[in-house]
Structure 1
Amino acid sequence: MPTPKHAAVPAGLPEEIFTLLAGAGIRLTLEELQQLRQRLHAVVNYHATIGVMGKTGAGKSSLCNALFGREVAEVSAVEACTRSPQEIDWSIQQGKGLSLIDMPGVGESGRRHDEYTALYRQLLPELDLVLWVIKGDDRALSIDEQFYQQVLLPALWDSAIPVVLVVSQVDKIEPCREWDWVKNHPGPCQRQNIEAKVAQVCRVFKLPPSQVCAISAEEGYGLVTLVEKVVTLLPAEKKWSFTREARQDTVSECAWRSASQGLWDTLTTAVMAMARESWDFVSSKLSALAGRLFSWW
């Protein structure tokens, strides 16, 4: 499968956009052109924030390493407490990068329930995406379901933050000895059980298959599909930042095209808004002039 070599915006893209505008007869002022350049810079250099959630031991750290190809050892604690969220900040340069908020595992104890509930509700509105990780061979989903229904959903009702449920460590789903270690994919019976697990998660959490993905981070299984799902769900202006930071062998041509289209759509929307504002200004002046002409008659 061909994958892009890098996630850099072509150097000539801004100038090509301005050339297309001129060719289409759209004339922007110097101030509007500067605003457009700033919008392009903001989208290309957007710093995304992703919340990685789920019960302790579900495989959150392994997922982060597998998706972004860097060690989670680069961790700075938001607060000096093991029960506090950990912010993993991966920045290439100023203005670029990705922050992963590794939330404390839900279900640690009943005593911590209220504390974690308040913490999740506080941080959720600041996120661009939520990855909720569920261990593939974990049959007890009641705690995950409770937090999802009572904490996550209410916090996201008034926002457009996408959620992807990640069924992790599926290589451990029985019969685990069927796993093909050469080709890194499940055997026939194991595949059926993985599909059954995904169907169960969809049913329990009332989510479509487009928001649930089965992976094995250690084996690199399902990561390409996960990236495609994430890029599809993200708003147009945020697709590029996630694709830019993802490990490039996990980014398919489909995901790449979707991210590129999101970048283009964001810029064209900005152009149309500016052109509309310019036209509204001109139109208002013409209307005023027409009014004066009619008054003379």
Structure 2
Amino acid sequence: MGLNATPSAERVHIGIFGKRNAGKSSLINALTGQDLAIVSDIAGTTTDPVSKAMELLPLGPVVMIDTPGLDDEGELGAQRVRKAMQVMNKCDLAVVVVDAAEGQTKAHEQLLARLTAKNIPHVVAMNKCDLLASVPADTEEVRYVSAADGTGIYELKEKIAHLVPSGDSGRRIVADLIAPNDFVVLVVPIDSAAPKGRLILPQQQTIRDILEAGATSVVCRETELAETLAKLGQPPRMVITDSQAFASVSRDTPEEVPLTSFSILFARYKGRLEQAVRGVKALDTLQEGDSILISEGCTHHRQCDDIGTVKLPRWIEQYTGKKFDYHFTSGGAFPDDLSPYKLIIHCGACMLNEREMKYRLAYAEDCGIPMTNYGILISYIHGILARAVEPLGLEL
């Protein structure tokens, strides 16, 4: 995906569910007008969830997720079904594909009940209706379609578009905390872990949000922050830093200037800031040898001084004086069983959509496992958490 494309995490996620050979992949191709999914008469062609970022008119930028069949068999089939069910955690809406000749079965009823329980808007697509002697009329919940000849595809797309909640969600990264003509200083370290020739996604999105607020962003490295602040001639409305530079940036930012980090802003933007702040306090109750899960929403090449696998463990052990058992996950992976862990530390989740991040937070809370965020933990270790969350309206 290019820099001009809508990030996947900001797109509507549409899950396509159903039994094997119901025509899920064919329906995706018909909806998009492209041969994106592999189609075969052999049951079980789709063996893993497959995500495709695309434009789906009249909805706009979406991620379509093709899933394995719900009736897959055997031990491997059961694992595939489990993967399909996990897709729900990131779905903004769902299309349940049913072979019109077979009709809805108990498996479909269970699936629909699960979608309803998770408050996921959904529609049933009765596929292969061209093979019926007569086609029943559509209802609010059911659309009769044919991926083969295009029957009902336009109407299904219109229905999908209307399932998405209308209006502005009101979520902002930072725009609601600043005013037009404000100066906002962004501190972006350029080290071995920084991608060549570009800014990382949270930095790009924050700059865009500042522009939409009518404010001005000033970007510098942590080594030039003091000089940059002096040259501005007036205190900025806020300083936002990469969490890894919190210690030096805090020293160079006057106390009267609000200070926070990209990661903390994203903790508010993607999930539950208060829960993440409560969770960090578990750091003081950990015992020698406890298990800690460090989870990232993206998959990237690990550098020699990687923040998740190297820096965080080092800072945690320097702060606590104890050794721990670390476990790491990345991308779409998140454990089904959280019971082994005494603390979960998550990245800012710029690559995960809001629904999936809130699922992870809610699941951890249901399991009684404290969960926090990179930026919150780093500021806590350096004794500046209260200062870092104050600009977001949270007092400790």
The TM-score range, normalised by the shorter chain, is 0.3 to 0.5
TM-score, normalised with respect to structure 2: 0.35
Q: From the two aligned structures, give the one with the greater strand fraction.
A: 2
TM-score (norm 1): 0.46
